[in-house]
Amino acid sequence: MEGKNDQSIVGHETKAPQKVKHEDEILQDPQQNFLSTTPVSAKQKLALEALDNSAEVNTNDAAYSSFSKSSKRWITFLVAMAGFFSPLSANIYFPALSYIAQDLHVSLELINLTITAYLICQCITPSITGDLADMVGRRPVYLLVLTVYFAANLGLSLQRTYAGLLILRMIQSAGASGTIALCLSVIHDIAAPHERGKYMGSAMTGPNAAPSIGPVLGGVLAQKAGWWWIFGFLSILSGLNLILIIIFLPETSRAIVGDGSIPAKGVNRTLFSYMSPRSRTITSETVLAKPKLRVPNPLTALKILFEKDVALIMYANGVFYLNYQCQQASLSTIFIRVYHLNTLEAGLCYLPYGIACTIASFLTGLIIDRDYQKTAAAAGFTINKTKGDDLSDFPIEKARLRSIWYFMGLSMACTVGYGWSVERRTNMAVPLILQFLCGITVTGTFNVLRTLTIDLHPHNPATASATINIIRGTFAAVGVSIIQILLDHIGVGWTFTLLAGLCGTASPLLWVELRRGMGWRQIRDKKTKDKLSLENRYIEVKN
């Protein structure tokens, strides 16, 4: 169905509209058991539907998403480009540290403090922007964070003081760090569970490749044009992305536009739709309850983090990201010392990892979708490719984790091999090949865990995705702070053997998630439904 009505940048399929009553009017919900005769407000009914992963607001045979296939691809490209900036900004900076310290007449320790400040903001900000995006929609938050990011880069390219560098780097991080959580939530909005892996893989191409591409770009710009041109380059690139999003990125939040067929209003509407009235091929009489606005609460993401199943997934994500960041942070230093490379040559050594991450993003997306189909077939579950599947009684944990054991095992083996190949000073091609294999396997691990995270929280995917940033930032900060100490005291080989062993501790925890996760999820969803139902009852009695 999704190939119809490609008459515009954002095409939709024509559906028979269904009028949803005003928020203040009362709806009867025959699906509720002990409260089947209790009136339920429209807003609370939509919340309950979200927990069942059935937030379609049109007819019963409505598609999960009314966006056409070409529209989904275009949306994925835009959010992947935006997601590129957070890891790129962190890593493009590294080759220029000595240049910046010299020009600003400060110590390298003070320059390293700007990295710490960046990481702190990277941990905190997504929990705020994610909560905000689940309230007001994805598009307004994209416009906000990219505008902040663009302005910070412009300021960084013009300033020449340490105080200005420190403050603007924190603002830059605040603008960039929320883009990945937003990206994940958009993919959840437009892609049904059976195809989510493919779109997730494509969307993560930018974020996965950026950490390896960043040092190469940073080294070239710092050496050939001056370190300030690093931020000038980011200003130009982010400005282009911001313009494209202003013009073309539609609102996708299912709380705002449902399956995409409900026309957005105000800032949630694209500039293209104003310029071209026929860009909307349908009109809808469906009206959703206006979201209740409140101050974004960063503690919401922390509450999700303490759920049993999410905690296990986040630990696995954290230790593998710690290993990944330690490899990235130490690569240039190790190769310069062991293989006597200059700064630019060492920067080029990041390319195998970046190429691997790009390839793996696409391949693992296909594997994730294949695993979903195999699990559904084994469980006798019929995949609904139109509406999307209700995951409440589907073993999504088993589907998503089906192939992760291969990714994790190979990643740990390649990490050990990488460390000892450098320790023994083998031909430089050997550790570079092992870096490539590490990139393939760790990207597969990340994509599986990201996809499962948003599957577990269909009603607030942006907030759930923010938990990934909290854990990643925390684990990365710890890893980067101790990696040089480990290298100096126990050597490269034992350091990466230790890191591989740390990654191995995630295996039994994910096995527990595989066996117990579905039960935990069903208990949590039932408690949430019961709580909302009781709140409805209290409101009706009070009124």
Report the sign of the C-alpha dihedral through residues 281, 283, 286, 291, in that order.
positive
Report the sign of the C-alpha dihedral through residues 239, 240, 246, 252, in that order.
negative
- For 66-195, where are the alpha helices, taking DSSP H only? 69-83, 85-91, 97-104, 108-136, 138-158, 162-176, 179-190
Q: Average pLDDT, stretch 208-220? A: 85
Residue 27's DSSP bridge partners are: 40
**537/39 Cα distance (integer angstroms):** 8
**262/387 Cα distance (integer angstroms):** 16
Q: Average pLDDT, stretch 333-345? A: 84
The pLDDT assigned to 203 comes to: 93
- Fill in the DSSP letter of residue 67: B
pLDDT(152) > 60 = yes
pLDDT in tens, 267-324: 999 999 888 755 544 445 555 556 666 777 788 888 898 899 999 999 999 999 999 9
Q: Average pLDDT, stretch 463-483? A: 86
Classify 12 as helix, strand or coil: strand
The pLDDT assigned to 62 comes to: 67
The pLDDT assigned to 325 comes to: 86
**231/247 Cα distance (integer angstroms):** 24
pLDDT in tens, 60-118: 456 899 999 999 999 999 999 999 999 899 888 877 888 898 999 998 778 888 887 88
Classify 204 as helix, strand or coil: coil
* Token pair listed for 425: 């000073």
DSSP per-residue codes, 400-418: HTTTHHHHHHHHHHHHHHH
Classify 243 as helix, strand or coil: helix
C-alpha distances out from residue 518 to 35, 84, 196, 352, 539, Å: 25, 33, 19, 38, 32
Q: Average pLDDT, stretch 7-27? A: 40
The pLDDT assigned to 288 comes to: 57
Report the sign of the C-alpha dihedral through residues 334, 339, 340, 343, in that order.
negative
**241/248 Cα distance (integer angstroms):** 10
The pLDDT assigned to 41 comes to: 44
Report the sign of the C-alpha dihedral through residues 488, 491, 496, 497, in that order.
negative
201 CB-near residues (< 8 Å, 6+ apart): 361, 362, 363, 364, 365, 366, 368, 447
**432/355 Cα distance (integer angstroms):** 12
For the chain, domains (ranges, CATH) are 69-277+297-532 (1.20.1250.20)
Classify 6 as helix, strand or coil: coil
Classify 26 as helix, strand or coil: strand
Average pLDDT of the chain to the nearest whole number: 84
The pLDDT assigned to 53 comes to: 42
Q: Give the pLDDT band (50/70/90) at residue 540.
A: low
Report the candidate in 506, 398, 399, 396 with the shortest Cα–Cα distance to residue 442. Answer: 506
The percent of residues in the chain predicted with pLDDT above 70, rounded, is 83
The pLDDT assigned to 480 comes to: 80
The pLDDT assigned to 278 comes to: 55
The pLDDT assigned to 38 comes to: 38
pLDDT(400) > 90 = yes
287 CB-near residues (< 8 Å, 6+ apart): 19, 20, 22, 262
| pTM for this model (two decimals) | 0.80
CB 230 within 8 A of CB 221: yes
* Token pair listed for 98: 């000595």
Q: Give the pLDDT band (50/70/90) at residue 172.
A: very high
